[in-house]
Structure 1
Amino acid sequence: MKKIKWGLTTAFTVLALSGVTINAAPALAAGKMTIASPQDPGSWDPIDTFLVAWAAVSTNIFDGLTYRGPDLKLVPGLAESWEELDQGKRIRFKLRHNVKFHDGEPFNAESVKFTFDRLLGEQGAKGPQRSNYTAIESVDIIDDYTVDMKLKAPDPVLLTKLAGYGAMIVPPKYIKEKGEDYFNLNPVGTGAFKFVSYSPKVNIKLAANSDYWGGAPKLSELEYRFISEPATAVAELQAGRVDLVIPPIIPIGMLPVIQNDSKLEIASVPGPTVDALRFNTRDGITADPRVRKAIIMAVDRATIVKSILVGQGAEITSFQSALSFGFDPDLKALPYNPEGAKKLLAEAGVKPGAAIQIDIRGNDATMNEVAQVIASYLQMVGITATLKPYETNVLLNDIIPQGKTGAMFQQKWGGWTFDYDNTAYSMYHSGEKWNPYEKDAALDKLLESQRPLTDRAEREKILKDIGKYVSDKALELPLYNSNAIYGISKRVKGFVPAPDTRIKLNEVTVE
């Protein structure tokens, strides 16, 4: 029997260092904090979404069995300890006592089983999260505060996945009584703040949960305003109507506006978020790998990163950051070589003036600037690129998954597990939501082969092989890994910027 176990003393120490107080006497919460968020997720159900904008809010509404804070260390959440049994085929979780959902319903083993039965069942199949948890065969109740998670195969990233998104624990009775549609718009969790109201496209309001198992929050209210326009968000921050602007609203070009305001400051930390322009490999000229390689060679990405990101990001060679497990520092991207690009285009029979469409998020000011520069580079090798901006939800829900993109399309990916599997499987495995065009049996086999491995070195080698394979096929034009940039009022105290934008605000105050 191999044990990986957290004791209560260890849990208390680590969580205390992470800014979470356990079993503290309820304090009188005071003050309101207003946050500008770039996007309304449209549903607050954990299994309905993959969006960073959802996690930025919902980290304060829901808890998982595990928790990962801004220091990226994994610590107990609703599970106070866990251990591996049967050579890793089972994980036994000991659950916290005396925890309640916001509606008063008790948290216990039944709610954990309900959460994962729902995630892995018919309801979960409708959303994008289930594929992250397919290693789980079942969750079995041992007693009211003990569950066994049986695994079909080992998943080396599973404990991290339990700290976010689809694995957030939800209330069985509430959902059964109110229904799925009601829960989407009126979320109930066990988190530090409870739901008050939601106005689609406008805001969501939360109030302090004085009974929170980690100690009552120091703030009494949170309001998240959905502001997609960067200039508006920054103006509201300057006017004092917003206390915090979360990534990725603030474009690089607007940083001096905040830095030059004595009432404001920038908090910037390296994060997992990466940007690429991915290719439509099914239709048009980009179905030819020679054309895809020519486009990559036509773009001086190093100059783009240096001139536009100005120190707030780094060039990437695969669709992951240097913080990601599976990152290969030795992988070399195709070099900037416009003459070589022209030769490849000629070999592929592409005539000067050939037109392509690049689909981007309309509210991403930095990518808008980058895409314009890319279009200029492509013009120099004989390709005319037209930019088509979309409202983010339309691009992500209607255009990309349905395979209705132009020749190239923006993909921004949070990579919040800091493990290349979570990105690569979603982007490249046949049939996945974010892979509308590619069907590659060899790549599928590589992706599947690393998931059951517990040998880190062996698994890391396969992840690097996947990165090289994707690079050789030129499935995307990798661009940059950007910092998580927060604009913040100096009235805010105790704020710790999270690299993955999953910000827990129970220890924050506003003067």
Structure 2
Amino acid sequence: MKRMLKFLTVLSAAAVLCAPSAFAAEKVLKVGIAKEPAKLNPVLIPGIFGESLASNIFDTLISFKESASEPAPGLAESWTIAEDGKTYTFTLRKGVTFHNGMALTSADVKYTLEALLDKANASPSREFFTPVEKIDTPDAYTVVLHLKAPYGPLLFALGNPTCGILPAEVVKEVGMDAFDRKPIGTGPFKFVEWVPDERIVLVKNADYFLGTPKIDKVIFRPIPKPETMAAEIEAGGIDVAQRLLPQDVKRLSEDKNLQVLTVPGLSNDYLGFSYTKAPFSDVRFRKAVYAAIPFDAAINGIWRGVGERSYSWIPSGVFPEDTAHMKSRAIPFDRKEAKRLFDELKKEGILTEGFSFSIYTPQNPQRVKMATAVATELRKYGITAKVESLEWATLFPILKEGAGMYIMGWGSVPDPDRWTYKIFHSGSTMNFSKYELPEIDQALEMGRSLSGADKRGEQYKIVMRKALGEDYIHIPLVFKSVTNVVSSKVKGYTPSAQDYLHLVSEKRNVSID
């Protein structure tokens, strides 16, 4: 009997050894993110952190994950555009299911687009879809968009994560806000949990239509302090780190267990002024601030080679190319000129003695440093500025209401509409300066409706030259490259120019050893 038990034990052990998959180690990717997303429901997402994470849960009709400028099939396997540019017809893939097993149909696409357009949802992305007049669904796999007028940026809008397709029946049942905390998409990863300020956990979608992800679980950890992020990637606490300080990137580049990956970015930082609140509303004040600050030296010292000085909102590589003109309109560092303008404003009573105000900024170290540099220089002219670095949930309402001075950033797709309309159009919720001029609105609207880069580009030149080269409503600071530090165990990962974290796409499937 003992021999028999021993034989069975050995046989059992052998069986286990012959079936290694039964005990295969779970492949977990730990990603450090610089800020926790405010929302995960695509309709409600207000910024890049939510967009980046949601792009792994949801799919869009078309995809820009592998190319920031050329669309690839997503949930739509093909599409056609009418000659007049006013009708777009999309044919959906068959057999795609949401994470709850429900089949994707044209009704889900129609519902998502109508939710984006519904004013009651107050979607931050609504203005990108207002040219859509009507949505038809002639069958379960066909979606037809009818536009009021030709709209060049439509494909970019449809391919952005803020147009991730929602399961209509689920959202109707639970509501937009409840869905935000338990999102369900068709993407490569399924939502598991969200522990505020600690982690967001996703697991692989084995039925993903582009193929089963090679990673079993992804843990996104909000780590707002870049020094902590650097320590975590160095110690192995995370496998991917973003938005690190330049000095930490340089040090970590010497670690053989890490990879430093850099691509040209599509994001900028800028100093903005109120167009409606005195003294910021006086162009002389804005010019005085521009002249008072040694921006070249400050930018070089703060960003240290991780980007280049910007003079416009439109980065190189995105039409129209107008760098030389915009650079010629930048105001050079000139203390005498700054003092002359400040004194003139004081004499007229527009700027009072001992004037004080707040410079608002998110908890981004470079932006905080720049705000501090501006505040330090302004004290030399008898102006007191307090730097208020706030969480996004607190900061966003203040900016929407209208702040006197603030430092923010923006990242988007390589189409000038996405770089300008949302920031400079009078009807946009992201126009924090409350900048409002009929000629600017008209140029932005023309830029959307015209066809061809040359014709559209002329409209964006009007906007940039007026807003930044005459009214100085913003002071552009820097176009930033995107650098991620990644564990050498991670394979197939490439940073995104938009600073997204794409783990599975039509050409990639990130893995970890």
Q: Is this a same-fold pair by TM over 0.5?
A: yes
Q: Residue type matched to 1:386 in 2? A: K
Q: Secondary structure at the match of 2:109?
A: helix
RMSD of aligned Cα (Å): 1.9
Distance in 2, Cα, partners of 1:287 & 1:68: 39
Q: Residue in 1 aligned with 2:76?
A: 79
For residues 473-484 of structure 1, the aligned pairs below 5 Å read 473-484=471-482
1:134 aligns with 2:130: yes
The CA deviation string for residues 138-194 of structure 1, in whole angstroms up to 9 with x for no partner, is 220122211111111111111111111332111112212333232110111111111
Q: Residue in 2 aligned with 1:261?
A: 255
Deviation at 1:123, TM superposition (A): 4.4
Q: Residue type matched to 1:109 in 2? A: S
- What's the % identity of the aligned pairs? 30
The CA deviation string for residues 11-33 of structure 1, in whole angstroms up to 9 with x for no partner, is xxxxxxxxxxxxxxxxx995110
Question: Does the 8 Å CA contact 1:275/1:319 hold for their aligned counterparts?
Answer: no
Distance in 2, Cα, partners of 1:29 & 1:327: 51
Structure 2, unaligned stretches of length 5 or more? 1-23
Q: Residue in 1 aligned with 2:114?
A: 117
Structure 1, unaligned stretches of length 5 or more? 1-27
Q: Residue type matched to 1:92 in 2? A: T
Q: Residue in 2 aligned with 1:3?
A: none
Deviation at 1:381, TM superposition (A): 4.4
Q: Residue in 2 aligned with 1:150?
A: 146
Distance in 2, Cα, partners of 1:62 & 1:408: 36
Query: For this pair of structures, how many residues does the alignment match?
Result: 476
For residues 276-291 of structure 1, the aligned pairs below 5 Å read 276-291=270-285
1:35 aligns with 2:37: no
Distance in 2, Cα, partners of 1:380 & 1:147: 60
Counterpart among 159, 165, 170 of residue 169 in structure 1: 165
Deviation at 1:102, TM superposition (A): 0.6
Q: Secondary structure at the match of 2:280?
A: helix
Deviates more, 1:353-362 or 1:179-188: 353-362
Q: Residue in 2 aligned with 1:385?
A: 385
Q: Residue in 2 aligned with 1:492?
A: 490
The CA deviation string for residues 54-88 of structure 1, in whole angstroms up to 9 with x for no partner, is 12211111111110024323211111111112511
Distance in 2, Cα, partners of 1:427 & 1:79: 30
Q: Secondary structure at the match of 1:369?
A: helix
Rate the CA distance shift 1:401–1:351 in 2: closer, same or farther, 3 A.
closer
Q: Residue in 2 aligned with 1:95?
A: 92
Question: Does the 8 Å CA contact 2:309/2:478 hold for their aligned counterparts?
Answer: yes
Counterpart among 463, 466, 470 of residue 463 in structure 2: 466
Distance in 1, Cα, partners of 2:367 & 2:292: 18
Deviation at 1:327, TM superposition (A): 4.5
Q: Residue in 2 aligned with 1:361?
A: 362
Q: Residue type matched to 2:400 in 1? A: P
Question: Does the 8 Å CA contact 2:357/2:384 hold for their aligned counterparts?
Answer: yes
Question: Does the 8 Å CA contact 2:260/2:485 hold for their aligned counterparts?
Answer: yes
Q: Secondary structure at the match of 1:92?
A: strand
Question: Does the 8 Å CA contact 1:130/1:166 hold for their aligned counterparts?
Answer: no
Question: Does the 8 Å CA contact 2:96/2:186 hold for their aligned counterparts?
Answer: yes
Rate the CA distance shift 1:242–1:413 in 2: closer, same or farther, 3 A.
same
Deviation at 1:351, TM superposition (A): 6.5
Q: Residue in 2 aligned with 1:309?
A: 303
1:215 aligns with 2:211: yes
Q: Residue in 1 aligned with 2:236?
A: 240
Deviation at 1:37, TM superposition (A): 1.1
Deviates more, 1:285-294 or 1:70-79: 70-79
Deviation at 1:122, TM superposition (A): 4.2
Distance in 2, Cα, partners of 1:492 & 1:220: 13
1:433 aligns with 2:433: no
Q: Residue type matched to 1:95 in 2? A: L
Counterpart among 399, 414, 417 of residue 413 in structure 2: 417
Q: Residue type matched to 1:182 in 2? A: A
Question: Does the 8 Å CA contact 2:320/2:453 hold for their aligned counterparts?
Answer: no
For residues 346-357 of structure 1, the aligned pairs below 5 Å read 346-349=343-346, 350=351, 353-357=354-358
Q: Residue in 1 aligned with 2:320?
A: 326
Rate the CA distance shift 1:42–1:306 in 2: closer, same or farther, 3 A.
closer
Q: Residue type matched to 2:220 in 1? A: Y
Deviates more, 1:128-137 or 1:438-447: 438-447
Q: Residue in 1 aligned with 2:3?
A: none
Question: Does the 8 Å CA contact 1:208/1:219 hold for their aligned counterparts?
Answer: yes
The CA deviation string for residues 296-315 of structure 1, in whole angstroms up to 9 with x for no partner, is 12222222232222221011
Distance in 2, Cα, partners of 1:161 & 1:29: 39
Rate the CA distance shift 1:361–1:253 in 2: closer, same or farther, 3 A.
farther
Q: Residue type matched to 1:223 in 2? A: I
Q: Secondary structure at the match of 2:400?
A: coil
The CA deviation string for residues 31-65 of structure 1, in whole angstroms up to 9 with x for no partner, is 11010112222321101113111122111111111
The CA deviation string for residues 248-274 of structure 1, in whole angstroms up to 9 with x for no partner, is 3x1224323422433223212211111
Distance in 2, Cα, partners of 1:81 & 1:155: 19
Q: Residue type matched to 2:425 in 1? A: H
Q: Residue in 2 aligned with 1:228?
A: 224
Q: Secondary structure at the match of 2:127?
A: helix
Deviation at 1:323, TM superposition (A): 3.2
Q: Secondary structure at the match of 1:142?
A: strand
Distance in 1, Cα, partners of 2:511 & 2:25: 9
The CA deviation string for residues 351-399 of structure 1, in whole angstroms up to 9 with x for no partner, is 675434211112x112222222223333344433321211222112x21
Distance in 1, Cα, partners of 2:170 & 2:220: 24
Deviation at 1:282, TM superposition (A): 2.0
Rate the CA distance shift 1:102–1:123 in 2: closer, same or farther, 3 A.
farther
Distance in 2, Cα, partners of 1:388 & 1:43: 23
Q: Residue type matched to 2:366 in 1? A: T
Q: Residue type matched to 1:290 in 2? A: R
Q: Residue type matched to 2:410 in 1? A: W
Rate the CA distance shift 1:322–1:169 in 2: closer, same or farther, 3 A.
same
Distance in 2, Cα, partners of 1:243 & 1:123: 40
Question: Does the 8 Å CA contact 1:92/1:146 hold for their aligned counterparts?
Answer: yes
Distance in 1, Cα, partners of 2:129 & 2:317: 22
The CA deviation string for residues 417-462 of structure 1, in whole angstroms up to 9 with x for no partner, is 2222223221122232122433322222222222110132111011
Q: Secondary structure at the match of 1:400?
A: helix
